[in-house]
Amino acid sequence: MGEAKRRGSAEQRQVAAVAAQREQLPKVVMCNNCKAELTDIHPMDVRGMPGMRLAGGAHCPACSHDTWVLDGTPEGLALFQGFLDEEHGAGAISTGFARR
């Protein structure tokens, strides 16, 4: 039996991987627009993003603003900001604060 099969089905391994990523994210992030506390932070797969260690996003139900949780090298963060600017417009990135 292969190593992957010993760790469970493909679905079980995917759930475990998302849970491990979620544990690295802060428990609460403040919305960059209205300062509401957001707890539903979705991890992003950053394996193909050079210089990025961690990324997640939270959508604020109060103001419909997306807030990003990012960790990486300055170069990696600049590349990610360029991607967001291209995909979502220049207002996609703003400074916020996360609490663990």
DSSP string covering 5-53: HHT--HHHHHHHHHHHHHHHS-SEEE-TTT--EE--PEE---TTSTTEE
β-bridge partners, 30: 37
What pLDDT is recorded for position 22? 79
Q: Sketch the domain layout of the chain as residue ranges.
A: 25-99
Mean pLDDT by 10 residues, the chain (100 residues): 72 83 87 92 87 91 90 90 78 52
Structural contact between residues 92 and 84, judged by C-beta atoms closer than 8 angstroms: yes
- pLDDT at 81 (0 to 100): 84
Measured in degrees and rounded to the nearest 5, phi and psi for residue 16 equal -65, -40
pLDDT of residue 93: 58
pTM value is 0.69
